[in-house]
Structures are given as C-alpha cells and as structure tokens.
Amino acid sequence: MRHVHAVAMGDRNVMSMTRRALLGSAVAVAAGGAGTAVAADAGAASPDTPVLWREFRHTPFTHPQIPYVGRAGCHGGAVRLPRRPVVADVRDFGAVADGTTDSAPAINRAVAAAGRAGGGTVTIPPGTFRIDDVIRVDRSNVVLRGAGSGRTTLYAAKNLTELIGVYGSRYGGDKSAWSWAGGLIWLAPRARWHSLVTAIRAKAWPFEGWTGNRRDEWRTLTTVAPARQGTWTITVTDPSSLRPGTLVLLRLTDDTDHTLLQHMCGGGPGPEAYVWDDKTKLTSYVPYEWPVRIARVHGRKVTLERPLPLDARPEWSPQLTTHVPALTGSGVEGLTLEAVETPQQPHLLDQGHNGIVLQCAYDCWVDDVTVRHADNGFGLVAASACTLRRTRVTGRGSHHPYYCREGSHDNLIEDFTIEERTSPVPPNTQLHGINVEGLSSYNVWSRGDMRMGTFDSHRGLPFANVRTDITVNNNGRHGGDASAGPLFGARFTHWNIRVTNSRAGLVKIDGLAPYSATVGIDEVREFDQIDVPDFTGDLHTRLELYGSPHAVRPRNLYEAQREL
C-alpha cells in the first residue's frame, strides 16, 4: 500500500505547538483588549476613512454598530491551514478514476482508516471518481485532499433523497429539509451522523445543533458570573473541570419577557414593543449556544479564545456546559464535487443534490473546492470557527449557494464565487445567495464575487455578522417564515459592497437592521423586493460613504480588524 501509516509523532508535536501558540495569542489579545487599538493601514484620518472605523479602533469589542470578528475562522482565522501527514491514498482501498466505478465505499474506507490512525490526510489523485453514496468525514483530524479543484472530480450520480430518504419539514407538508441541510460530502462527528440518519429514516425530525436530537445531551460545568458583551475573561463558580484548550458551550436561556432576544437586537423601545410570543420557529432556536475554547484558567478567572458575543446576565442563567462531541481539525481540499445535472426543483422540494456541509464542526475547513450543479452548495449547520476558502458554486443554479444556520458562529467564508447559471431559471424556483439565519452570529463573508444571488437573511434573528469587499449582481430574494422572527439583530455590517445592477434588496440595510452599519456601497434603488423593518422607531443605524465603495478605507473590514 502506498501511504498507509500512523500519524507521525513529530506531527503530534507540531499540532501541540500550534495549539499552544493559538491559545497564547488569545491570552495576549485578551490582556490587551481593554486598551486603545490602532490599525496600521487606517490610522490617519481622511475623507475616505469612515467615522465608524475611527470609533471602532478605540472600542473594537463593544462598538454598538460593528461587531468584532477579527478572530473568525479556523484557529482564530489562521492564514495557514493545518497540514496533516498523508496516511492513505484512496486507490489503495479500491477507488478507480474511470468515472463509472462507484468509489464511495473505497473513499469512506480510506477516511475510516485515517481516523483509526489518529488522523491524517487521505489523498485523491487527479481524475474523475464516481460516488454513489455520501462521503463521510466523521472523524477528527482527518483531511480529504484532492489534487486541485481543476484536477480531481467526485461525480455524484445520486441525491440525498435516494441515498438516505425523504427528510421532511418539522412543520409538516411536503417541504424537503434537503433544501437547507445535508451534503454529499458531510463533515460531522460519527455519533451525530448516525443519530441524524436514524431519525431521518424513522421520519422523525432531528435537532441539528450542539446538544443532541432532544437537546438534552449536555451537563453544566459551571455557572458564569454577570459579564458584559466583549469581555474576554469571565468569572465562574467552579473552574475544576475547565482546562486550556477545552471546547465548552456558553448557554444563555431566554426569559418569559424575551429580554435575551431583545438584547440580540440592541434593546430599546423597538425590540421591547415587538411581538415575540408567536414567533414559534424563532423561540425554538433558544437557548443560545455558543461553542468556544478555553484559553487560560487562573483561579476562578477564565479567559476565552474569543470575546463574549452577548452579555451574561443572571436572568438568562449563563453557564458553561458540555455538548455533543464535535468534529475538530478536519477538512476537505482541492477537488470538485459535481452532481448529476438535473433541472432545479420547485421551491423547497430539493432532492438533495447538495455539496459540502459542516455540522457540529469546530476548527474545520474547506479549501479550493468547487461545487457544480448543486441544489445547495456549501452549508454550515451548528458549525463554528470554521473557514471556507477559495470555494466556488457553478453550474445549473442553486437554491442556497451558501447557507449558515442552526446557531453557526465565528465562521469565515473568504475568496468565494457564485457563478451565473448555465441553464434557464425553472418556474417556481428560488435563488437566495449567502444565507444566514437561526441566531447565527459573528460570521464573515469576505472577498466575494457573486454573479447572482443576494445577501440573504432567512429571518431567525441572525446578528453581528459582516459582509465585506464583495461584488454582487443582486438578483436573488431573501427567504424566511414569518414565525422565524426578525430579519436582523444588532451589529450587522455591510462594508465595501459593489452592486452591479443597482438593486437594493438586503444590501442597503440602514433602514432595516437595528444598530447596523452600511459603509461604502454603490447607490442602489428598490425594484420588487419588499423589505420592511421589523422594529418601529429609531433603529440607531449608520450609513457612510454611500455611493463610494471603491473609495472606502480600509477596503476590507475583516482584514483591518485582524491588524488591530
């Protein structure tokens, strides 16, 4: 066999050093977080430097309109993604690059062998490999690597409905949940995968988040003392089970007056007057669950890898808890996943010609991957601190080219492309674009080329997300059921957005999103999109350098935050 061997001890040392360096950097940032921040490329005031940026530089963790996302992505947004030693070649397990032999069993055997070896890289050489099953990256520290998105192709001849069964909506009817979940390459921990498939085949609705299908697979580690949003170091009651490097879940439970949901919207008269009780889909998303690594423990003082996303108030019973086992340190690189080309199905009847999904994943990544002819391209489902880099959606058109849902936080999607459709738009279909929903927060979309789609909020109160340095032909539509509540919470920011067709829908958000910032976008006008603010009164929004996206400095908000 060509490359089958155990993970080298040297690589274990490298991984350990990398984690120590990461945690050390978190401590350093936390220690300096209260001081004045200075950005190297934007320190001088000029007509092209927004007032908002000058404010943010001095209060980066607590600015009312702009969220701190400088540590979004895998390993805090590391430029260099982890490299694992090669431990398997799929050809040694029976994969054949002839385009007709089903190579899915061989690829899954190779992934399983890498998992048993403690992790490592599974290589797929150039050529076209047919797959008639889901490729399951279900063990931590396993990387599936092709020879490049232009050289290695996985050709998926079947869809998820054929392979797993009908995944229906929890709200009844004939809606297919493959419209917003599941991938033909599926990164999820083994227990999560088996639990999901069992529930689906039993025609039961599985909960897709961090605490199990019944949301009961967790236990309290410690309660948390009151703390403010933006704080890096918190005080806990019992630190005995907390260690540096441990992944824990911050859990905040809403109260009967829905003050937690109001806080996510910035508070004030508008959110206080909003009717929350009938938003049944939205209220099913709470408690708010935010996974984070422990950086340092000193007595009862615990420093986190990232600052608190929200206040920790006694009325929300703040606590650190366990969670279902997460997939960590795994990735997919250097390949094209091509589904069999079929007409796009009517809205919410997707058969599951889906691309790649990361579920219950933390510090995982996708790099140099193209998805072609997909119902849904790339999905983040209860995934956090993951990076999607150099990804592309192309072919006959997608319902969701990118979706981010079920409490996905701190993810980075950069250098992404959504190409034009290669076939006419079928009737009764829908195109969204870059989606975010379900209390997902602190996610970043950076350096994008969207030749179709829109900045889709699917309601469900996403908050504190950033889209920056993106060109968009804004021809999609947002979605979301009315029971999912508001389109936006607080601290949504759109920064340096070039709109090629002058359409406003969900890009110019100063009249829609509370405590938001719209900075450096092209002049736009409304067409047939109906965008109505959810809250009455003053939204406390900011609009700067309208009509001047090419002039705004810094050009990329995420990159500028990383330089602070």
Work out whether the CA dihedral 262, 267, 272, 274 comes out positive or negative. Answer: negative
Alpha helices for 397-456 (secondary structure H): none
Residue 7 is predicted with a pLDDT of 35
- Residue 44's contacts (CB-CB under 8 Å, 6 or more residues apart) are none
Work out whether the CA dihedral 370, 476, 468, 482 comes out positive or negative. Answer: negative
- Residue 92's contacts (CB-CB under 8 Å, 6 or more residues apart) are 1, 2, 3, 4, 110
pLDDT average per 10 residues of sequence, the chain (564 residues): 37 38 46 40 64 97 98 96 97 98 98 97 98 97 98 97 81 78 94 79 73 89 98 98 98 98 98 97 95 98 98 98 96 98 89 96 98 97 97 95 96 98 84 96 98 95 98 93 95 98 92 96 77 93 94 96 93
Residue 295 is predicted with a pLDDT of 98
Residues facing residue 161 across a β-bridge: none
Taking phi over 0 as left and psi of -120 to 50 as alpha, with beta for the rest, 427 belongs to beta
Residue 173 is predicted with a pLDDT of 66
- Residue 232's contacts (CB-CB under 8 Å, 6 or more residues apart) are 26, 29, 30, 33, 61, 303, 304, 306, 307, 308
What CA–CA distance (Å, rounded) separates 172 from 189? Answer: 28
Q: In this structure, are residues 496 and 555 in contact, taking their beta carbons and an 8 Å threshold?
A: yes
Domains of the chain, by residue range, sit at 220-321
Q: Tell me if residue 553 falls in helix, strand or coil.
A: coil
Residue 110 is predicted with a pLDDT of 98
Closest by alpha carbon to 109, among 144, 153, 146, 160? 144
Question: What is the model's pTM?
Answer: 0.93
Residue 212 is predicted with a pLDDT of 85
Q: In this structure, are residues 124 and 147 in contact, taking their beta carbons and an 8 Å threshold?
A: yes
